Structure 1
């Protein structure tokens, strides 16, 4: 009986613990969408994320100012390089990447807004327990709002302010822990001898979504 009481108290204590900032799994595959407040930009993107090797693959399609586009990027942060890949004619553009790798995580200085269930808590399997966090962007240009699962710290959505678009909202779905196709995180054979462009300013990560044709 004492053991049961002790276990019940321990369980209650665990459930009452305040959520803490967290990091997403080091290897993730999934999809996200991006929409902007001023309706200039909409993106549907399949991604591979490797925090161990500091690599990302973004295969996106969408519309910018009502004009459709398709883009395929491979970001190699350790090499400071970004490949734009064109499978149709088997060519690449290699550019300098100036950003440092930023893992998917909730910063330690983030503020917890609250915890909620997406869906329903009426029965098992009907809802998803998530935590909502807010804080200042790393460049101090605005605020962000991030929602992650309580268990696993899987990204659900992120919103942040930009000067050009107002609020941008990113929704994640079909996330899988792990890399389904590791070859997606290496330059294709036809890209390996591509020379990096040196006649332009190095790119940053956000420019992939903003500097569109």
Structure 2
């Protein structure tokens, strides 16, 4: 697996660029699916189901629930990107923590300032049904030298995103995508979280979807 990821990285950054200044980032529709998070050191960080509301800018991710794996992180998080808050939910104990969201970047949508890098086909372009054409978008973080490479289909469905963090690079793989919100209740704050005060953020801490895995 690690060798495949390394090869993918090599292809992404050595492919013939088809850069077109008329390309603008597309935006993902409402989707549900599965997400796997893996460090490039070979550790599976998390794997679970997600629901993403692209219009309301809401994301629910629950790891190790319907697809248990030997991963290092168990999460149930509900993020409200426009409001700048998120909830860490413990449904078993019916408790939650409400926190401030410092960064809205996540692997399910292309940032507005991303740069088009290239179009390429994974698998085979010459054999019918054996290839998937994707657009690759790249960009960086304003407050660091970290950067990312995001692959999406021609219909703007996310396929994978590589985040090149100085400490540990991460690969987010998106699978079993459906273009609908199958359970809208997952994007509603549970009743036992109502009235929860906003927790103070310790100095030096950055809260974001990505930082849940670092």
Superposed displacement of residue 186, structure 1: 0.7
1:176 and 2:178 correspond: yes
Specify which of 110, 115, 129 is matched with residue 110 of structure 1. 115
Q: Deviations over 1:29-67 (max 9, x none)?
A: 1112111123355221321112221211111249xxx87
Range that drifts further, 80-89 or 40-49: 40-49
Query: Is the Cα contact below 8 Å between 1:159 and 1:168 reproduced in 2?
Result: yes
Superposed displacement of residue 131, structure 1: 2.0
2:165 matched residue in structure 1: 162
Q: What is the distance in 2 between the residues matched to 1:28 and 1:67?
A: 24
Matches within 5 A, 1:117-156: 117-150=121-154, 152-156=155-159
TM-score of the pair, normalised by structure 2 = 0.74
- Structure 1 or 2: larger strand share? 1
Query: Is the Cα contact below 8 Å between 2:123 and 2:131 reproduced in 1?
Result: yes
Q: What is the distance in 2 between the residues matched to 1:139 and 1:154?
A: 27
1:58 and 2:61 correspond: yes
Aligned residues: 189
In our comparison, the structure showing a higher alpha carbon Rg is 1
Question: Residues 21, 191 of structure 1: CA spacing in aligned structure 2 closer, same or farther, 3 A cutoff?
Answer: same
Q: What is the distance in 2 between the residues matched to 1:173 and 1:160?
A: 18
Paired residue secondary structure (1:131): strand
Q: What is the distance in 1 between the residues matched to 2:136 and 2:105?
A: 23
2:197 matched residue in structure 1: 195
Question: Residues 111, 26 of structure 1: CA spacing in aligned structure 2 closer, same or farther, 3 A cutoff?
Answer: closer
1:94 matched residue in structure 2: 98
Specify which of 16, 19, 23 is matched with residue 20 of structure 1. 23
**For the aligned residues, what is the CA RMSD?**
2.9
Instruction: Structure 2: give runs of 5+ residues left out of the alignment.
Output: 1-17
Q: Deviations over 1:161-203 (max 9, x none)?
A: 11221x2111111111121111100111222232222364572
Query: Is the Cα contact below 8 Å between 1:148 and 1:157 reproduced in 2?
Result: yes
Question: Residues 100, 120 of structure 1: CA spacing in aligned structure 2 closer, same or farther, 3 A cutoff?
Answer: closer
Paired residue secondary structure (1:88): coil
Q: What is the distance in 1 between the residues matched to 2:200 and 2:19?
A: 51
TM-score of the pair, normalised by structure 1 = 0.74
2:6 matched residue in structure 1: none
Question: Residues 69, 199 of structure 1: CA spacing in aligned structure 2 closer, same or farther, 3 A cutoff?
Answer: closer
Q: What is the distance in 1 between the residues matched to 2:82 and 2:133?
A: 35
Paired residue secondary structure (2:186): helix
